[in-house]
Chains A and B, each alone.
Chain A
Amino acid sequence: KNEVEQSPQNLTAQEGEFITINCSYSVGISALHWLQQHPGGGIVSLFMLSSGKKKHGRLIATINIQEKHSSLHITASHPRDSAVYICAVDRNNDMRFGAGTRLTVKP
């Protein structure tokens, strides 16, 4: 069993829909990251969380340390949000990555 599990693996949405991507992990962590990877390989760090909730524009990330679970939400989704979203956990300088969620937002 992977230490970091993401769901769903693939997600297709219509423009404007509210999107949720989930991440569960099985180990103790010092921080959790949400990353965005566009076609061609470029990775951008969206959030780093150790507790609570963070918001940046239309993106919201939450984490529940007790339940070892995090969610990434996208409000009013847009085709330019189409990308792979990767959850990564930080275990004292040892990073573990989820397999990613491929999001496609159709106009």
Chain B
Amino acid sequence: EAGVVQSPRYKIIEKKQPVAFWCNPISGHNTLYWYRQNLGQGPELLIRYENEEAVDDSQLPKDRFSAERLKGVDSTLKIQPAELGDSAVYLCASSQAGAVDEQFFGPGTRLTVL
């Protein structure tokens, strides 16, 4: 069974440019998470979806970050415009029944903003 797929794996952009990340969760997983992981730190939740509904986006910087999960499967996370401080690894994870169940993580997208 394929795991959580993310693309791109690496992205380098100049500040003020837009960027988008894509995530395909494990088939059948209703819950999808986007995390940001800064160097030397644990992941920080940005947004959690139950199917197509964003049920927790309290940590998402809404002035520049947006996310969508149309049809409750794939998801995209967008930053516009990117800032230097956005350089981090963006991780997508999915689970079958909310956070209580085991989460499966994708390989992440490493973003570098110059």
Residues of A within 8 A of B (CB): 4, 30-31, 33, 35, 40-45, 48, 86, 88, 90, 92-95, 97-100
Residues of B within 8 A of A (CB): 33, 37, 40-45, 48, 55-56, 89, 91, 93, 98-105, 107-108, 110
User: Is the beta-carbon distance between B99 and A90 smaller than 8 angstroms?
Assistant: yes
Nearest 6 A-B pairs (CB), nearest first? Answer: A97-B42, A43-B105, A41-B108, A93-B99, A41-B89, A42-B107
Considering the chains assembled together, what is the distance between the CA atoms of A93 and B98 in angstroms? Answer: 6
Known pairs A98-B42, A100-B42; list 13 more (Cβ under 8 Å).
A33-B103, A35-B105, A40-B107, A41-B89, A41-B91, A45-B104, A86-B42, A88-B43, A90-B100, A92-B99, A93-B99, A99-B42, A100-B40
User: Is the beta-carbon distance between B45 and A95 smaller than 8 angstroms?
Assistant: yes
Distance of A8 from chain B, by nearest CB (Å): 14
- Count of inter-chain pairs, beta carbons less than 8 A: 58
- Interface majority SS (helix, strand, loop, mixed), chain A: strand
- Residues on B with C-beta less than 8 A from A33 are 102-103
Distance of B56 from chain A, by nearest CB (Å): 7
Q: In the complex, which of the residues B44, B91, B99 contacts A43, with contact meaning CB atoms closer than 8 Å?
A: B91
Q: In the complex, which of the residues B42, B103, B110 contacts A45, with contact meaning CB atoms closer than 8 Å?
A: B103
User: Is the beta-carbon distance between A97 and B44 smaller than 8 angstroms?
Assistant: yes
Distance of B71 from chain A, by nearest CB (Å): 22
- Residues on B with C-beta less than 8 A from A95 are 33, 45, 99, 103
- Pick 22 A–B contacts, CB within 8 A, sort by A: A40-B107, A41-B107, A41-B108, A41-B110, A42-B105, A42-B108, A44-B105, A45-B105, A48-B102, A88-B42, A92-B99, A93-B48, A93-B99, A93-B100, A94-B45, A95-B33, A95-B45, A97-B42, A97-B44, A98-B42, A99-B42, A100-B40
